[in-house]
Chains A and B, each alone.
Chain A
Amino acid sequence: MVSTVSNRLAAKRGLIDFILQRLTAVVLGIYVIHLTLVFALNGDMDYTAWRSYFNSGYSLLLASLTIVCVVLHGWIGMWTIGTDYLIGSPIKRAARVIYQLIVVFILAAYLVFSMMLIWGYL
């Protein structure tokens, strides 16, 4: 059962990654434009305005979504790079495992600390 599901997922992995990479890129683009506009339209933001913006519900949700998208986008891209360059010899394949562990660690740390930071747990 589990192997059937994982086989089906593997058979669609390229398509899923392709869609996810583009959707997450769109979200990242929207967030960059949004943030640019916020700063451009409120040029003289003081600490109170800054804090009020980052504590508003929509800002927290949009920032959280963006962070999740950075992690997904980053993982797909870095996984692709690893499976392009670190292939073939046992040494290269071992290097890929280490490389992927480092990428997972960095992305997980980024996800946890960014979420804690914007939701006020740090």
Chain B
Amino acid sequence: MLVSIYRYVPEQDEAPRMQDYEFALPAERDLMVLDVLEQLRVEDPSISYRRSCREGVCGSDGMNMNGRNGLACKTTVSSVVRKSGKLVLRPLPGLPVIRDLVVDMSQFYAQYEKVDPYLINDDEPPQQERLQSIEDREKLDGLYECILCACCSTSCPSFWWNPEKFIGPAGLLQAYRFLADSRDQATEERLEKLGDAYSVFRCRTIMNCVDACPKELNPTRAIGKIRAMLLDG
């Protein structure tokens, strides 16, 4: 199998290039894309990418594989290569490249920070924990599981065009995670920050984020619920 990897070291290279490697796929089992990268790195230690847990929990190895964003550690080679016989690996689109497949996530985290991603509750903390009913707790399912891998936001054209102003699907999923939390007391303040022309309303509901999310979450639905709360407000 041919593996084509985006190579770019901004301090050394004039322009990015694609470097091709031959890779012998084992016949008996399907590898993950991360396995391929790990084996190629033995041959060429200069290939750079992020990785940590290798099981879809840390969100470090988000990248673009044959045109689709995902986590290299939980994406099988067969699911992306199909009939083309070629694996093309590029960094997550829209973010500045630090080196090869490693991108600068500062812009992504800056948007995440904007939504105050923590519980705001001014009541005296109870001795053990703030309790919720089972029904209230269920409202957080499909929201709290986000691992901030940035696969969704970097597949969103609105985020590519206005990364300083549009919060992006990952940040908005987290915004709704706290808006939906029965223990949070800052609903009004949170919504006040989201009514401008960019933060939420740049979403054009094209659902690339839903397609890209490796945790099978639905940021578009969360954005729709935030809009509904703004309309009710």
The answer to whether A14 touches B161, judged by C-beta atoms less than 8 angstroms apart, is no
The answer to whether A11 touches B192, judged by C-beta atoms less than 8 angstroms apart, is yes
| A61 → B minimal CB distance (Å) | 28
The answer to whether B198 touches A14, judged by C-beta atoms less than 8 angstroms apart, is yes
Q: How far is the CA of A84 from the CA of B199 in the complex (A)?
A: 13
Residue A34 interfacial (CB < 8 Å): no
Residue A50 interfacial (CB < 8 Å): no
Tell me the dominant secondary structure on chain A's binding face.
helix
The answer to whether A15 touches B230, judged by C-beta atoms less than 8 angstroms apart, is yes
Residue B138 interfacial (CB < 8 Å): no
| B164 → A minimal CB distance (Å) | 9
Chain A residues whose CB sits within 8 angstroms of the CB of B199 once the complex forms: 14
A9-33: CB near B (< 8 Å → 1, else 0) gives: 0111111011100000000000000
Chain A residues whose CB sits within 8 angstroms of the CB of B6 once the complex forms: none
The answer to whether B198 touches A15, judged by C-beta atoms less than 8 angstroms apart, is no
Chain B: which residue is nearest A18 at the CB level?
Answer: B201
Chain B CB within 10 Å — which of A15, A18, A87 has the most? A15
Q: How far is the CA of A83 from the CA of B196 in the complex (A)?
A: 14
Partner of A10, one of B196, B200, B230, B231: B196
Chain B: which residue is nearest A88 at the CB level?
Answer: B161
Residue B162 interfacial (CB < 8 Å): yes
The answer to whether A17 touches B197, judged by C-beta atoms less than 8 angstroms apart, is yes
The answer to whether A14 touches B196, judged by C-beta atoms less than 8 angstroms apart, is yes
Chain A residues whose CB sits within 8 angstroms of the CB of B195 once the complex forms: 11-15
Residue A85 interfacial (CB < 8 Å): yes
| B201 → A minimal CB distance (Å) | 3
Q: How far is the CA of A91 from the CA of B231 in the complex (A)?
A: 37
The answer to whether A87 touches B161, judged by C-beta atoms less than 8 angstroms apart, is yes
Residue B69 interfacial (CB < 8 Å): no
Chain A: which residue is nearest B161 at the CB level?
Answer: A84
B149-176: CB near A (< 8 Å → 1, else 0) gives: 0000000011001100000000000000
Chain A residues whose CB sits within 8 angstroms of the CB of B161 once the complex forms: 84-85, 87
Nearest first, the 10 A-B pairs at minimum CB distance are A14-B201, A13-B197, A14-B197, A15-B195, A12-B195, A84-B161, A14-B196, A15-B230, A18-B201, A11-B196
Question: Which residues of A approach B to under 8 Å, CB–CB?
Answer: 10-15, 17-19, 83-85, 87
